[in-house]
Amino acid sequence: MSKKAILEIDGNKYEFPIIEGTEKELGIDIKTLRGATGGITTIDPGYKNTGSCESAITFLDGEKGILRYRGYSIEELAEKADFLEVAYLLIFGELPTAEQLDKFDKDIKEESHIDEDMKRILDGFPKSAHPMGVLSSLTSALIAFNPGSVDVDSEEAMYGAIVKIMAKFPVLASWTMRKRKSLPLDYGDSSLGYVENLSKMMFSRPNKTYEANKIVNDALDKLLILHADHEQNCSTSTVRIVGSSHAGLFASLSAGISALWGPLHGGANQAVIEMLEAIREDGGDTAKYIAKAKDKEDPFRLMGFGHRVYKNFDPRAKIIKVSAEEVLGDLGIEDPVLDIAKGLAQVALEDEYFVKRKLYPNVDFYSGIIYRALGIPTEMFTVMFALGRLPGWIAQWREMRLRKEPIGRPRQIYTGANYREFKEVAKR
């Protein structure tokens, strides 16, 4: 017997079906609400209680700290899979066979060139431009050089656009980093794996023989997997709503990059390191920053802490914390900022303010410490997040398009001026 919700307004009763997901989540289906009630809508700033879609891609349970991509646990995928496998899983729904993975890899490599005129667009930016702004612009600019990637209705046409952006995005990301360092733009090497090639494009130097570092590549691969998808977060919802207008995959991704840039979202990984550095320069006074975070008069927040969904722990943060210690140990790096981070987390996790609000370290709290150990500049941290989230954004966009979902267009409750007649300027 399917469950129902009854709404009573002014003595009138309205019935709505309750849908149940495969993990027993319940949602009141209010598709008929406005029609049934003569125009009554709901209001839910930040969509804290509102589901935007049914999705089969990622499941997370904020209370239990569960995160699964297409049913596989993040712990197993981080341990046993590589990033390209996970990208295929998220986008197409199944772990690839050896043949499927090989074809995906080859199709991507076929598309890893970038029109030389794109370099002129990159050259138009000042070195000081934030890499996320550059990457969002270059992703949108790709449309001009790949017009066939816009109007993609068939699975085949979508596949063509998907392998194009999977191939070109890491090149553009590495170019944004190399531009800031005044390095020649590297194209990498198609004989390398996806993440090994990304590493080479980022870290190779014109005057040195490039030597791959397995510790760096393994750490990068794991970080990209951990960031690959996270159901309907801010940037993914942006990708879906822009995609719902049929603006095309690249335009939707460009919008998602801009949403991820914000310090409350993916930009937090950069803000965490800047916060930890400030604490270090301030003599390691973590108590002062905890007090600032708790002070309602102070806009400062403990960056890397808290999460809209996770109210116990972020399973990704647990994995990244262990990986940070391993990578620093393997690379023989002593980073005082890691000790400050651990000290800060310890104090916050015992403080009533954070405990009461269920604020715990999230994915961004420790990730910057690893990026820093890998020699990635702080302003590139959110670009690394975007590189990981790319397959998740693609998977969510593809699901939305294949399901032919309607254009996203929320309603509102108007609270402005009622009708008033126009006044000539002399009478105002």
If we measure between CA atoms, which residue out of 272, 256, 276, 253 comes closest to residue 264? 272
Q: Please, what is the minimum distance in Å from the beta carbon of residue 155 to ligand SDX?
A: 26
Residue 293 near ligand SDX by CB under 6 A: yes
* Window of 25-33, 195-203, 211-219, 298-306 that interacts with ligand SDX by CB under 6 A: 298-306
Pairwise CA distance, residues 180 & 173, whole Å: 11
Residue 304 near ligand SDX by CB under 6 A: yes
Closer residue to ligand SDX, CB minimum distance, 86 or 293: 293
Is 307 noted as a catalytic residue in this protein? yes
Residue 57 near ligand SDX by CB under 6 A: no
* Window of 86-94, 304-312, 393-401, 408-416 that interacts with ligand SDX by CB under 6 A: 304-312
DSSP secondary structure, 161-201, as one string: HHHHHHHHHHHHHHHHHHHHTT-PPP---TTS-HHHHHHHH
Amino acid 322 reads: V
Site string for ligand SDX, 202-231 (x = CB under 6 A): ----------------------------x-
Residue 152 near ligand SDX by CB under 6 A: no
Q: Which of 70, 109, 180, 265 binds ligand SDX (CB under 6 A)?
A: 265
Sheet holding 26-28, edge to edge: 4-9, 12-20, 26-28
Sign of the torsion formed by the C-alpha atoms of 291, 295, 297 and 300: positive
Residue nearest to ligand SDX (CB): 306
- Contact present, 171 and 179 (Cβ < 8 Å): no
- Contact present, 69 and 86 (Cβ < 8 Å): yes
Show contacts with ligand SDX in window 228-257 (CB under 6 A).
230, 233
Pairwise CA distance, residues 138 & 121, whole Å: 8
Show contacts with ligand SDX in window 395-414 (CB under 6 A).
none
Residue 308 near ligand SDX by CB under 6 A: yes
Length of the chain: 428
* Window of 142-150, 263-271, 335-343, 406-414 that interacts with ligand SDX by CB under 6 A: 263-271
Per-residue CA distances from 343 to 315, 337, 348 (Å): 19, 10, 9
Pairwise CA distance, residues 147 & 151, whole Å: 8
Residue 68 near ligand SDX by CB under 6 A: no
At residue 209, what are phi and psi to the nearest 5 degrees?
Answer: -75, 125
Is 246 noted as a catalytic residue in this protein? no
Structure tokens at 243: 């995609």
Q: Which of 96, 131, 248, 306 binds ligand SDX (CB under 6 A)?
A: 306
Q: Please, what is the minimum distance in Å from the beta carbon of residue 316 to ligand SDX?
A: 7
Could you give the 3-state DSSP secondary structure of residue 302? coil
DSSP secondary structure, 211-264, as one string: ---HHHHHHHHHHHHHTS--SS-HHHHHHHHHHTTT--HHHHHHHHHHHHHSTT
Q: Which of 142, 198, 363, 370 binds ligand SDX (CB under 6 A)?
A: 363
Closer residue to ligand SDX, CB minimum distance, 52 or 190: 52
Q: Which of 264, 278, 355, 402 binds ligand SDX (CB under 6 A)?
A: 264
Closer residue to ligand SDX, CB minimum distance, 170 or 392: 392
Residue 194 near ligand SDX by CB under 6 A: no
Binding interface with ligand SDX (CB under 6 A): 46, 230, 233, 264-266, 268, 293, 301-309, 357, 359, 362-364
Which residues are the active-site residues?
307, 364
